[in-house]
Amino acid sequence: MEVSKHPDTRGVAEKTAGKGTTGRSGSLREAVAEGGWTTVNKKREGARNGNGRQGATPRSPGRVRADWATEGRLGSGGGSDAKAGYILPLVEKLAYMAATRRFQEYKESLPTERTEGKSEQEVRAEWGDELPSDMRTKYAGLVSYWDLSDEVHANRLAMLMKDWVIDSRLPQHEVEARLRVMHMEHSRPAPVEEQSKEAEARSYRGVVNEGLRSPEIQLLTPYQQRLKELCLKPAKVLTQLRPRTPEEDAALLMILNQEIEVPGPPPFLVQSMTAGEIARFTDLFLGIEYPLYAHLAPGQWFGEKLSKQAIIALVQGGTEAAPLHKMETTAFEETLSRITLDMETRVITVTFKGRSVAQKWVGWSIPLAGKMLPLIDYEMEREQARVNHELVNLDCYVFTAEVKRGKITSTDLHWILDTSLDLHVCSMVHPEAGKGSINDKRWTVTIAGACCPRKLRNIATLKTGEAEITIWHHMVHVSRPCSNCLSPNHQTKYCRE
């Protein structure tokens, strides 16, 4: 078997579209434009025409039609499939606004001496809001009662309103007149539109709104705050040790119970512990820290043994990042205890002061050098693996093997990798090729080991008989090895040889 080696192996916010309408929503706008619907709120037109008089402002029917025609509440946006839960609160609001407007007209028609010294509630109590005689004649004394807690009544009333407002295009005064003979009981609150946190984070508006809010800060009690300040207070070494105070013992207990967080062992320990005792406490202190892990993206290369400050300098969301993301990045930098980078395994280890703090950052992506690297809780996966015996990705290495020339079976490839190269192969699967098929010329190979074995690291092709196999370290390099020079750092079309 011939082995070809590499010549050198080191080498965005979706703006949400405005709520549009489809279907019959255009006819709704025409209906709004045709009708002279007025609201309860009266604006002073003196600001516009200078006469200082009040007048009703022609507007849509309290946004009733607009709300019914809004896509997202209706599904198709046509106004014919609106849910009763959204219609009925608007109907009650429309009836209330009409009654309020009638009361305002009644109050303005009264002589000044009848309203002088009376509150609005007292005047409203004297107002009966009785139906005019012509309206009683028109509706033949009809009085209907609707129980909105009954689904049958609610759905029937919703159908009537859609028929009156959307289909029949009844004018505002006619709809309000019909609502005067309809008594609604057991009103229901308007449903709250729920939006998942993930969907809100994907929208531009949601990100901006969240970014303008202050992040949630875990507040300490005055007693905990005093003990935390005690743990941060500098202390000088004494020639003779002193006994610890009750507050110092309570502070140590809170640190071990992760009730308070401090960057290191309290300085007052140098006055009450020997050097050996402080060393053992330091190991215990670091033992309660909890690590999360992140894998470097393919194509990312950094120097060996980078300091914490150097890695933090690479963690940037960019000048165009949303306010929420900038705040999260700042909070992440302030919360972490240590951060290290191992280029051998290409893994970033982020250590927090405790497991409860680390759990808040599981799944969050580190913006490292322009790549978003999600944080993974492999410690939890290891605990679960003791029961379900699943392979933890941190303890294995994955690469791609592809037949370039000739023909080779899975059994032959397994013998080459597992027996000939002495690699502990855990699995070999064909990747999907779309439309329910697989690519039988390519394998995704998983081997045991936290990093790529040195004997496999520089291999670009394997030749056996008439077959040639290309080895692509897709977790490390972006492109396949060049066909001309076998370099993994560029594609064949960019090769200069």
Distance between CA 6 and CA 446 in Å, rounded? 21
Distance, in Å, from the CA atom of 161 to the CA atom of 192, rounded to the nearest integer, reads 21
Pair 45, 53: CB distance under 8 Å: yes
- Of 139, 163, 185, the last residue of a domain is 185
pLDDT at position 293: 94
Q: Is residue 206 part of a domain?
A: no
The alpha carbon of 227 is separated from its chain's Cα centroid by a whole number of angstroms, namely 35
Instruction: Report the alpha-carbon distance of residue 496 to residue 493 in Å, rounded.
Output: 9
Q: How many CB atoms lie within 10 A of CB 139?
A: 15
Q: For residue 227, how many other CB atoms are within 10 A of its CB?
A: 23
Please give the Cα distance from 495 to 385 (Å, whole number): 45
Domain boundary among the residues 345, 369, 388 is at: 388
Same domain (yes/no): 347, 257: no
Residue 421 domain flag: yes
Q: With respect to residue 68, please indicate whether it lies within any of the assigned structural domains.
A: yes
Q: How many domains does the chain have?
A: 4
Helix 204-211 / helix 323-335 crossing angle, nearest 10 deg: 50
Residue 211 lies in a domain: no
**Which of 388, 422, 446 finishes a domain?**
388
Could you please report the per-residue DSSP string of 323-383? HHHHHHHHHHHHH-SEEEEETTTTEEEEEESSHHHHHTTTTPEEEETTEEEE-B-HHHHHH
Is residue 74 domain-shared with residue 45, that is, in the same domain?
Answer: yes
The one-digit pLDDT tens for each residue of the chain (497 residues) are: 666 666 554 433 333 333 333 333 343 334 434 444 544 444 444 444 444 444 444 444 445 445 444 433 433 344 444 566 677 777 778 788 888 888 888 888 888 777 777 777 777 777 777 777 777 777 777 777 778 777 888 888 888 888 888 888 888 888 888 887 777 776 655 555 555 555 555 565 665 555 444 444 457 788 888 998 999 999 999 989 999 999 999 999 888 887 887 878 899 999 999 999 999 988 888 878 889 999 999 888 888 888 888 888 888 776 667 777 788 888 888 888 889 999 889 999 999 887 878 888 999 888 888 888 999 999 999 989 889 988 898 889 999 988 888 888 889 888 988 888 888 899 999 888 777 788 888 899 999 988 888 888 878 888 877 788 888 888 888 887 887 787 777 777 778 77
3-state secondary structure of 291: strand
User: What is the pLDDT, as a whole number, of residue 196?
Assistant: 55
- pLDDT at position 100 is 84
In whole angstroms, give the CA distance from residue 317 to residue 370: 8
* Domain extent at residue 413: 393-494
Rounded CA gap, 398 and 452, in Å? Answer: 8
| Among 430, 423, 427, residue whose Cα is nearest residue 408 | 430
> What confidence score (pLDDT) does residue 204 get?
59
Are both 278 and 426 inside the same structural domain?
Answer: no
- CATH classification at residue 314: 3.30.70
What six digits make up the tokens of 76?
């198709």
Cα 452 to Cα 447: distance, rounded to the nearest angstrom: 9
Residue 46 and residue 174 in one domain: yes
Within-domain flag for 201: no
Answer yes or no: is 209 within a domain.
no
Do 360 and 397 fall into the same domain? no
How many helices and strands in the chain, by DSSP H and E? 20, 17
Q: Are residues 40 and 157 in the same domain?
A: yes
Residues 313, 241 share a domain? no
Q: Are residues 99 and 167 in the same domain?
A: yes
Does residue 317 sit within a domain?
yes
173 and 62 part of one domain: yes
Residues 146 and 176 in one domain: yes
d(CA 238, CA 240): 5
Helices marked H in 181-272: 197-202, 204-211, 222-232, 246-256
Q: Are residues 433 and 477 in the same domain?
A: yes
Residue 2 lies inside a defined structural domain of this protein = no
Residues 6+ apart with CB under 8 A from 443: 400, 401, 402, 410, 413, 428, 429, 430, 431
298 and 270 part of one domain? no
